[in-house]
Amino acid sequence: MNWGVILFFASLAICVLLIIITLVTLPQLGNERKNFIKMKAQSYAFTVVIGMLLIEMIENVYLTFWTDRSYEGINPFIFLLTISIIYLITLLYTKRKYGG
C-alpha cells in the first residue's frame, strides 16, 4: 500500500479522534457555553471552506480562459484533511478561550 495513503488515513483518524475527545469533554461546561463553542468553531471552519472554494473557482476560471492548461480540480483527500485540522484547531482554541 502507498505510504501517502497510509499517512493520510492515519492523520485523518488522529484528527477525528481528537475532535471526538474534545467534543466529549464539552458537556462539563454549561449547555449554552458548549453550543457557543461548537458554533464558533463550526462558523470559522465554514468560512475557511468557502474561502478555499472561492480560490479554487478563481483558479478554474483563470486556467480555463487565460491559459492553455486545464483545471485538475480539488483533491478531496487534502481538502478533507485540511478542514478537519482547521476545525480541530479552532475547536481547541475556542474551548480554551471560552471554556473557563
| Largest Cα–Cα separation, the chain | 56
Only one residue has cell 453550543, namely 35
The string of pLDDT tens digits covering residues 65-82 is 888 888 788 888 888 888
The string of pLDDT tens digits covering residues 12-67 is 888 888 888 888 877 776 778 888 888 999 999 999 999 999 999 998 888 888 88
What residue type is assigned to position 7 of the chain?
Answer: L
Dist. CA 100–CA 26, nearest whole Å: 11
Given CA atoms 64, 68, 73, 78 in this order, what sign does their dihedral have?
negative
